[in-house]
Amino acid sequence: MIRPDLQPSAEQFDFDLDGALSAIVSVRTQVPDDAFTAQILGTERAGHGVRIDPSGLVLTIGYIIAEASEIWLIGANGQAVGGHVVGYDYETGFGLVQPLGKLDLPILECGDSDLINIGDEVIIAGFGGVTQALTAEVAAKREFAGYWEYVLDEAIFTSPPHPNWGGAALITASGQLGGIGSLYVENVSNDFDVGNMIVPINLLKPILAEMLSYGTRLTPARPWLGLFVTETPENLVVAGVLAGGPAEQADVRAGDVVIGVAGERTRTLADFFRRIWAFGDAGSEIPLVIFRDGAAFDIKVPSIDRRAQFKAPELH
């Protein structure tokens, strides 16, 4: 439960707060033991989602629903229905679920995340009404790079952090959906130590139709290596590799220092991933410069399409 002094009240805002919060549903999923993401994310996952159109379509963060064999959506009115994954975009992290039954709940209109400014007061809300919502401040809008081969040119950072952030809604002062909660992060800004990283809603708009029709965006898949890289003040270090992934097969190892790509020095995660993606589509061979045991050497990693590793959703 959110501390009462952090919970929003209807008097603070000029929109129907209860109605907006009622558009948020609980998302619970079961994933097969042999799923590709099971080794990272587990087989039982839970988070939140937001109903965004009259068909009942639910927007959430993709890692909750990735490879799910069973999805349950629970509404504020106590209704529970099954759901089916209709879209997952690996570049933004957005996931879409279509309910397989009717949920008599309102929708939350998508706003314009470009209009969200640093210092704005917003609501970060999960399923459960006002007791699961908190009033937060937009602490930063900046680039974000994740160690799992993920970069956003501009993410939204809010503070204080919501304790159950996965799929939570960022609701703007005008009562619209401004983004979807993805992570708990540290070192948010000079003024805020901890907070949430929010994926801006405007990233959904140009790809929504493709996700609904084809399950993902139609642009060619980026090269993917299957490695986790952390950024230190001095270097980029391999924290781990996925079993059976391209990096492991090319003998990239945990503890390796990544000096660069194709002989070009890289010092930040965002630069490292962008250099990899600049080699073309998935399937491109990526030349890395690795430092291990006191020596630097080249490793060529044949990249693959990350999407091909995931179990496709099945409609029951």
Domain co-membership, 77 together with 146: yes
Domain co-membership, 183 together with 269: no
- What is the per-residue pLDDT for 315? 55
213-240 pLDDT, tens per residue?
A: 999 999 999 999 999 999 998 899 999 9
Total residue length of the chain: 316
- For residue 124, the domain's CATH number is 2.40.10.120
Measured CA to CA, the distance from residue 189 to residue 56 in angstroms comes to: 36
Q: Helices in 57-174 by DSSP H: which ranges?
A: 62-65
CB 168 within 8 A of CB 124: yes
123 backbone dihedrals φ, ψ, rounded to 5°: -115, 130
pTM: 0.94
Domain co-membership, 207 together with 66: yes
CB 96 within 8 A of CB 53: no
* pLDDT at 311 exceeding the cut of 90: no
Is 246 a domain residue? yes
Q: How many domains does the chain fold into? A: 2
- Domain range for 265: 227-309
**Among candidate residues 255, 262, 259, the one with its CA nearest the CA of residue 234:** 259
Domain co-membership, 178 together with 232: no
- For residue 237, the domain's CATH number is 2.30.42.10
**Among candidate residues 90, 39, 94, 98, the one with its CA nearest the CA of residue 71:** 98
Domain co-membership, 22 together with 154: yes
- What is the per-residue pLDDT for 314? 61
Q: Among the three residues 172, 190, 218, which one is the final residue of a domain in this structure?
A: 218
151-166 pLDDT, tens per residue?
A: 999 999 999 999 999 9
Measured CA to CA, the distance from residue 178 to residue 200 in angstroms comes to: 6
259-309 pLDDT, tens per residue?
A: 999 989 998 999 999 999 999 999 999 999 999 999 999 999 999 998 888
